[in-house]
Structure 1
Amino acid sequence: MTNVPQRFIGRLSLESAVGTSLSDTRIRLLEQIGELGSISQAAKAVPLSYKAAWDAVDAMNNMAPQPLVVRVTGGRQGGGTQLTDYGRSIVAMYRALEIEYQLALDRLSARLGEVGAADVQEFQSLMHRLSMKTSARNQFSGPITGLRDGGVDYEVRLRLDAQSELIAVITKSSAENLGLAIGKEVFAFIKSSSVLLSTDRELQLTARNQLWGEIVEIQAGSVNDQVSLLLPSGRSVTSVVTHGSCETLGLAVGQQACALFKASSVILAVYD
């Protein structure tokens, strides 16, 4: 009996500075935002929950060198969301790569009979192990602009954009294992529970990272609230604070606030 080569149907996922996972779902979300001008309508069309859609947009904007999606105000509908020129170029590039990717998979399928089944299974297992997901709500990327050897630890400066940078403190062994060097692209992860908020510009704190932005969303909970700040660059930072603290600070959408977190709360990662 002749073995019929198996055909692989690919779902392209790009791991780069554009994002931790620029997938077909996220691209379809961008396409729908460009067509509908509304993230709520785009989320329904994909389909995704409204929260999942905003989380995806925030992740892409934070990882990209410039925003893919921006909020717009005014007009008959009172505002909405809009795909930027950069966002449209990313969508077009992804779709072009997708075509080439499927052609490559078809060529691989044609040669599958030359490869043992055990080898294919090992390859699939490796792909699963290499897939990385993180529970950290805040994800950024950028080049290293500063490294300072503190003896037992390293201070790492990461440039997000012209206005903002992050500072991380990691052990010396971790810095060596990551192969950190000036100019190297790295990823930074900060849990939302590690991010504090302040509205007082005169307040003096020891937190090395202080990012000012505008509150664009508050998701109220029975105990904790999730507060999202939009930075001037288009990136966002999310904090989880108690409902009582949110009320005490008088936090409201449209208000300026500062996201504060310690350098030791920043986790760094690289792709070799």
Structure 2
Amino acid sequence: MTPQCPERLMGRLSIDAPAGSTLSDTRVRLLEAIDRLGSINQAAKAVPLSYKAAWDAVDTMNNLSPEPLVVRVTGGRQGGGTLLTDYGRRMVAMYRALEIETQAALERVAARLADDGPQSVEDFRRLMHRMSMKTSARNQFSGPIVALRDGEVDYEVRLRLDKNTEIVAVITKASAENLALAIGKEVFAMVKSSSVLISVDDAIRLTARNQLWGEISAVHEGSVNDEVTLLLPSGKNVTAVVTHGSCEALGLAPGKRACAVFKSSSVILATYD
């Protein structure tokens, strides 16, 4: 009688930054296709992903990475394109090496769980699925806490995205204690695109704490609302949903200098312990 092989556990490797998931199989295949094809449009078709989903993934990876993984290039005989950086290539190589080791480890775990019966493998798989987390927030950033101010009822948290950019969040004192926030701790910050306003007036004065200046890199038009993506000097991106009428009134278009504005109370913080 042929011995029954243990049920296999097939894993999807996700490499985390200090504050959240950055690389996944789909994103790595997108990066590999960009490196191979030099075009995000062609890379998106190869994965496959929609063009917008591909750019959203690239923006998120660049925002969460200490160095850009992908850069846009313009001009030249080919009219520009999208390139993987040397840092991006190293991250892809690391991912593929870890993927091999991860699958080997999962097969060893499955063999041990099979000693307790096939249901143990299924229970483990179900638990991992339930513990995974995804968020609908369009803007996702990570960085260390550089300042904390106790306001008795709430906490003001200042987060550094890069050497030139900081954002401020205001959360309840209970939430700050629950997250165990401290100076230097890496945290994950999320801002819904509907909470971001766009301004083009340098002289305007606003009460919103977060005002990030950059250049509009893309405008995706809709029947009622448009999605406007702002490229910051660091290479990170902020996306806002703006009515089509407002886009036209402000003259929002790629290449135009603009400011992404959002209140500190609109920033959601998360940690991964």
If the TM-score is normalised by the length of the shorter chain, which range does it land in? over 0.9
Distance in 1 separating the partners of 2:18 and 2:226: 29
Deviation at 1:124, TM superposition (A): 2.2
Look up the match of 1:4: 5
| TM-score (normalizing by structure 1) | 0.96
Give per-residue Cα distances to partners, 1:96-125, cap 9 Å, x unaligned: 101111111222233233234444333223
1:171 aligns to 2:172 (yes or no): yes
Distance in 2 separating the partners of 1:93 and 1:124: 25
Distance in 1 separating the partners of 2:116 and 2:87: 41
Deviation at 1:7, TM superposition (A): 1.9
Alignment of 1:1-272 (within 5 A): 2-17=3-18, 20-272=21-273
Give per-residue Cα distances to partners, 1:22-80, cap 9 Å, x unaligned: 11110011011111111001111111110110011011001111110011111112111
1:67·1:84 contact (CA, 8 Å) conserved in 2? yes
2:169·2:265 contact (CA, 8 Å) conserved in 1? yes
Deviation at 1:150, TM superposition (A): 0.4
Cα gap change, 1:155 to 1:143, in 2 (>3 Å): same
Deviation at 1:222, TM superposition (A): 1.2
Give per-residue Cα distances to partners, 1:248-268, cap 9 Å, x unaligned: 111111011000000000000
1:199·1:256 contact (CA, 8 Å) conserved in 2? yes
2:9·2:121 contact (CA, 8 Å) conserved in 1? no
Distance in 1 separating the partners of 2:111 and 2:120: 16
Distance in 2 separating the partners of 1:105 and 1:227: 42
Bigger mean CA deviation after superposition, 1-10 or 232-241: 1-10
Deviation at 1:127, TM superposition (A): 1.1
Deviation at 1:17, TM superposition (A): 4.0
How large is the Cα RMSD of the aligned pairs? 1.4
Cα gap change, 1:136 to 1:63, in 2 (>3 Å): same
Query: After the TM superposition, which parts of structure 1 deviate over 6 Å for at least 4 consecutive aligned residues?
Result: none
Distance in 1 separating the partners of 2:247 and 2:102: 47
Over the matched positions of the two proteins, sequence identity in percent amounts to: 72
Q: Secondary structure at the match of 2:145?
A: strand
Q: Secondary structure at the match of 1:70?
A: strand
Which letter maps to 2:245?
Answer: G
Deviation at 1:18, TM superposition (A): 8.2
Deviation at 1:21, TM superposition (A): 4.5
Deviation at 1:213, TM superposition (A): 0.8
Bigger mean CA deviation after superposition, 122-131 or 242-251: 122-131
Which letter maps to 1:233?
Answer: S
Distance in 2 separating the partners of 1:152 and 1:12: 40
1:237·1:259 contact (CA, 8 Å) conserved in 2? yes
Distance in 2 separating the partners of 1:130 and 1:19: 14
2:216·2:258 contact (CA, 8 Å) conserved in 1? yes
Q: Secondary structure at the match of 1:51?
A: helix
1:3·1:113 contact (CA, 8 Å) conserved in 2? no
| TM-score (normalizing by structure 2) | 0.96
Distance in 2 separating the partners of 1:44 and 1:72: 20
Which letter maps to 1:264?
Answer: S
Deviation at 1:146, TM superposition (A): 0.6
2:141·2:189 contact (CA, 8 Å) conserved in 1? yes
Deviation at 1:19, TM superposition (A): 5.4
